[in-house]
Each structure stands twice: as structure tokens, then as C-alpha cells.
Structure 1
Amino acid sequence: MRAIRLNQPREFVQVQIDAPAAPGPGQALVRTHRMGICGSDVGGYLGKMPFFKYPRIPGHELGVEVLAVGPGVANIKPGDRCSVEPYMNCGKCFACRRGQGNCCQTLEVIGVMIDGGLREQFLVRADKLHPSTKLTYDQLALVETLAIGCHASDRGDSKKGDHVLIIGAGPIGLATLEFVRLTGAEITVMDMVPDRLEFCRRVYGVAHTVVAKGDASDLEQLNTITGGDRYAVVIDATGSNRSMSASLGYAAHTGTVVYVGITSGEVTFPHPVLHRPELNLKGSRNALPKDFPRIIDLIERGVINTQPWITHRTTFDRVIEEFETFTRPETGVIKAVIEVA
């Protein structure tokens, strides 16, 4: 069976692996139809994703078809189209007992810590599959990206009329934008790439955008937009330690800063920046099981329009030669999708 493995940063190889066994109790055998390429995949390729373990078959944003189910499986059946919740949690640790398996102490994310979906078939826990009778495989592959943004938005807990700053207009920033807009907040998006900001204005009608320059002019523009109050919620989706360090300075007194982007560098700030305004500093990791059916329903009802998302496509046979282009924002990539089957 064919698979693509990332042996080490910047070294993809196509390999032949054994076909999976028949599904056991609580398992399902699935065929990968679509895989979305996200920041974690790019970070793993570039060697900048701290959770990535090599060698690894990547792929956690997946639209799959159920081929067979094991004993005791009732939530899905062969032929179902599903999105995959890729967070393999233990169910027993402190976080899991509190209903937060997204940050399980022994969490293994498929495609990051254990092998993922960039192969023809694989076995997965059936409780991690979320079916839809309406969505395409393309749309199902987008659900996990949107779930990251859904959880980040929930962590920020913005209210109608709040000024919310989203830093980074890549896929995770855009996914966060999808859900922050549903709260009725007044949104500003900041990014270094003007084309991404134009996408936010054109597709989402974002009134306030700022081209980040990394100097005092950034804060001047943000102060102008908010009348000097700064932001009730700041969500940093860049994965840049420099941006994450600076983001605390954009929050209003008593505001909240959420880190959804991941960095392997140090995030530093003088303590009064956090203490004086009594900021809430939060991490946002992965998503919760409840987010997946919610997102599927929102797409099915047309509340979320996935049509503008996919800007680039490739096939299984062309992934290795084309992947490098998906790491460069200047190519205009928002979301690239691999047609696996």
C-alpha cells in the first residue's frame, strides 16, 4: 500500500507499507480521499513544529470513507463520509477527566506524533469519526482546521461589540475569524502579507486590517481603530515568537490574549506588560469533540462557506515535488488540499 513519509525536515519519500488489518473492537478502517495541508504539516516539513516526531506519515486534516467497522461500533457504518478528529487521548488523565482531551497528558495527534492519513487506508478509533451525508470530502477535510479556530475563539470568549484582534491571516487565523465573527465582535486582522488582508476584506468584509511592520506604527494603527482602548481579545495565530511576545501590548486593560499558533522559540515580555493591565493569558490547543458536529452543521446550513478556502490542489503522486510551494505565502496559498484517492 502506498504512503508518503516525512523522514526528517524537507525529506519526503514515497514508500510501500503493509495494508492495515481488519478493524478490532471500537475501530474503523478508512480510505483517505482528501488531506488538507496545515501549519503543523508545514512546520513539520520545515523542522519548526515542536510536537512533530520523525519519521512520520503526515495528515490530520482528513476527509475519509469508512470501509469497515469493528465490533461494538454504532456511530458509523461502511460507506459513510467522515471528518477525522485526530486527537488520540487517553480518557484517564487529569485533563481527560475534566472533559478536555484536547490537551491530554499523553496526547498523540495522528500525522504529528503517530502516523496520519497520507496513505491509502488506515485504522482509527471509530469514536473519532464524524459523519455527514451532505458534505464533500473537500469540506470534510476542512473541518479540523475550522475546529482549531472554533476552540481558539471559545478560549477568547469575545462578546458582541468587543474589539478583537486576530494576528495572522493564514488558515488558522481565518478559521478563528470564522467563529469570532459569529460572536458579533468588531474584528481587526493584522498580517505581514497584504494579499491575505485583501482576502479578509473581500471574502469576510473585515473593515479593519493592518499590514504588520514590526515597529511602533503597528500599535499606532491599532490604537486609532480602538479609540485608544486596545483590544478586549487578542488571538495570535502566527506561530512567530516575536509576534507572540508583542501581542500582549495590543490588549486592553483586563483583556485576554490567546496563543493558538505554536512556536519553538522563546516568548518573552517584561512582566508589567502582563501584570499592570491584569491580562488573561491563555493557550489554545487542538479542539473539543463537540466542535466537530457543530462545524459540520454550520457548513451544511451554509453559515460557513468553504468555497473560498481551497486555493491550491495537488495529487498524491505530485505531493513531494509541489509541497515546497505550499510553504510560501507569496504563492497566494490559503489552503492546499491533496487528492489522495
Structure 2
Amino acid sequence: MKYIVCEKPGLFKLKEKSNPQKVEGQAILGVKKIGICGTDLHAYKGNQAFFTYPRILGHELAAEVIDIEENNQNIKVGDKVIVMPYISCGQCIACKNGKTNCCTELRVLGVHTDGGMQEQISVPMNLLIPANKLSYAEMAIVEPLAIGAHAIRRAEILPNEFIVVVGCGPIGIGIMKFAQIAGAKVIAIDLDPGRLSYAKDKIGIDYAVLAGATAVDKIAEITKGEMATAVFDATGNKEAMEHGLNYMANGGRFILVGLSNGILEFDHPAIHAKETTLMCSRNATLEDFEYVIAILKMGKFPVDIFITHNVSFAQMIHHFDSWLDPTNGVIKATVNF
């Protein structure tokens, strides 16, 4: 079978190997569609944390079961499944407390172990989520949307509160849309006017504010001086993350969803005066995946608008560099097998 491997930063290779062999407790899947995420882009550029090369990328999988043993979900050969890409130990303090998303031994497909950029893959059966009622396009975006859903659930967003989301990439867009579904009033911030227009005009976000010197004043104007009771960073950019507290109201929450590969610095008197709740939101849990699937089944998320680019497996290497260029308007790229 064919697969694509990132040999080192900036270098993909198309190769062939034998099909995976059946292993007890695992299912063999045929990959049908896969989403390209920020982790893949950062890995290709060589600035992804927790990463080693060579690596087969890809953890946003829409797949079909080729071989599976009897299982408690009654998943059968031919069924459509989403792969929850977080392999947790089930024994550590986080797992025992239901926080499998931050397991002390966590391994993520496509990051710590080879992922789905291959025609077939063998994965533990407990990672499979049935998805026969979803399209492959819907299935391929469940994982990134689950990250946004987890952040919204973690922050306990309430109806009618003003929230700020910094970063109009795919994770940021997911956070914004799920915040709206929760009843919040959403302010999007980005450096790119094109992405702000996309968030407001295509996705339907309430307010769009250009990042920069006037952003704080603009948010004060929108919120009548109160600022946002929850601020989400979906950039992973050090400067943006350190500046995000300026958008937050006294008594507010600051939620770091983006991952910065370095040290962040905050002025303690400033965060203390606001009695800031500072939290991180990492990955997602089964509960978040199930919530996203339910939202997609109800047609409450604009899938066709969210997926801006789509190519075949054979074309992926040729197109990948263009997805790094913001001027190409990429929000979510997907690959068909």
C-alpha cells in the first residue's frame, strides 16, 4: 500500500509498504478522507512540539472498517468510523479522573506515533467511534471541532456573555461557532483581514476586530466598557497569548488552546487585579466527540464553508506548500483517498 511520510522538516516522500496485519484488540481501517491541521503544518515546518522524524502525519481520520473482531460497540466490517487519535494509558491520575485528553503517557496518532496518511491503518478498537450517518467530509473535521467544543465546555460558557477568540484558523472557528451555539456573543480577532471577513461573512460570527493597537478600544466599545468575560487564544503565538489578557474583563477566564513552544510571561499585578482564571485546554474527550457528531447530524455547523481546500492523496505533496501561505485563504484542507 502507499503512504506519505514526512522524512524531515520540509520533505515529504511517497512510499510503499505491506498492508497492516491483524493484531488482537485492533481494527484495520481503510482511510477515506483525512484533514490537515496546524500540527501537520508545524511538523512540516519543523516547529512542532513533542515531535520526531520520520513520521507519517495525520490524525483527523474518516475511515471504513476492513477487518475487526467482535466488539462491544457492534462495529462491523464496512462500517464508517471516526478515529479518536489520543492513545491514553487508562491508569494514570488524569485517566482515572476522566481526563484522558491529558494522560501522563499520552500518545497522539500522527505526532508521537504514525498517523493516517496511508491507505490502511491498524488502530486499537477502543479508539473507534461509529459514524455511519455522517459524510466523509463531516467525519474528517470531527476531531478539530472536538478541540473547540472541549475548550467551550471547559470554560463553562454561558448565554449572552461576550467572549473573544484570538485566531481565525480552524480551531478558532470551531471555538467561535460552538460558543455561538452555547448562546454567547462572539468577537473574533486576527491579524488577517481576509480571515476576519471569512469569520464574519461566511461563518456568521457576531463581531470581527483587527488585531493591533486599536483592538482593546474596539472590544471596550463593543462590550460597553466591560470587556470579554472569556478570552480564548487559538493562535499558539507567544505575543498574542501574552496580550490576550488585555481583552478580558475583571473576574474573567483566559483559556489557552493554542500551543506555544516556549515560555510565556504575564505581569502578576495585572492578572491578580482581575482575579484571572487562567486555564489550558488540551485535545478532547469522548464526550466532546459525541457532542460534535450530534451537532453535525443536526446540520448546525457549516461544513462546506469550513473545508476550503480539497485534493486527492496523489496530489497532496504537490499542494502542501501552498497551504502554508495565508494568502491562499486556507482554513481547512482535506485529502481524499
TM range (shorter): over 0.9
- Secondary structure at 1:308's aligned position in 2? helix
The aligned residue for residue 4 of structure 2 is 4
Amino acid at match of 2:189: M
**Which residue is 2:259 aligned to?**
262
- 2:35 corresponds to: 36
Structure 1 residues 58-97: aligned runs within 5 Å: 58-72=57-71, 74-97=73-96
Q: Is the CA contact (8 Å cut-off) linking 2:166 and 2:172 kept in structure 1?
A: yes
CA shift in 2, pair 1:167/1:75, >3 Å: farther
**Does 1:52 pair with 2:51?**
yes
Instruction: State how far apart, in whole Å, the 2-side matches of 1:273 and 1:246 are.
Output: 11
> Helix, strand or coil: the match of 1:307?
helix
Please list, as runs of the form range in 1=range in 2, the aligned pairs for 1:92-107 lying within 5 A after superposition: 92-107=91-106
RMSD: 1.3
Q: CA deviation at 1:207?
A: 2.8
Report the TM-score when normalising by structure 1.
Answer: 0.96
Q: CA deviation at 1:205?
A: 2.5
Which residue of the other structure, out of 280, 298, 301, is the alignment partner of 2:298? Answer: 301
- TM-score, normalised relative to structure 2: 0.97
> Deviation of residue 272 (structure 1)?
1.3
Is 1:75–1:127's contact at 8 Å kept on the other side of the alignment? Answer: no
Which one of 310, 315, 319 corresponds to residue 312 of structure 2? 315
Query: Deviation per CA, 1:272-323, whole angstroms, max 9, x where unpaired?
Result: 1211111000101000111112211211121223121111112211211210
| Pairing of 1:123-142 with structure 2 (within 5 A) | 123-142=122-141
CA-CA distance at 1:70 after TM superposition: 2.7
Letter in 2 for 1:329: P
Q: Contact 1:75 / 1:126 at 8 angstroms: preserved in 2?
A: no
Q: Identify the residue that residue 223 of structure 1 maps to in structure 2.
A: 220
Aligned to 2:174: 175
Percent of aligned positions that are identical:
37
2:33 partner letter = R
> Could you list the per-position Cα deviations for residues 188-223 of structure 1 after superposition, in whole angstroms to 9, with x for gaps in the alignment?
00011111111111123323111112x3x1211111
Which amino acid is 1:252 matched to?
A
Once residues 318 and 307 of structure 1 are traced to their aligned partners in structure 2, the CA distance between those partners, rounded to angstroms, is 20
Distance of 2:11 and 2:132 partners within structure 1: 37
Q: Runs in 1 of length 4+ with deviation above 2 angstroms?
A: 70-75, 203-207
Deviates more, 1:104-113 or 1:155-164: 155-164
Gaps of 5+ in 1: none
* More divergent stretch after superposition (72-81 vs 51-60): 72-81
Q: How many residues are paired up?
A: 337
Give 1:253's aligned amino acid.
Answer: N
For residue 19 of structure 1, what is the amino acid of its counterpart?
N
Q: What residue number does 2:331 align with?
A: 334
User: Any gaps of 5 or more consecutive residues in structure 2?
Assistant: none
Confirm or deny: 8 A CA contact 1:241 1:267 kept in the other structure.
Answer: yes
Task: Tell me, in whole angstroms, the C-alpha distance in 1 between the residues paired with 2:333 and 2:102.
Answer: 27
State how far apart, in whole Å, the 2-side matches of 1:63 and 1:52 are.
23
Find the aligned partners of 2:256 and 2:230 in 1 and give their Cα distance: 11
Aligned residue among 277, 282, 287 for 2:284: 287
Question: Aligned equivalents of 2:197 and 2:65: distance in 1?
Answer: 39
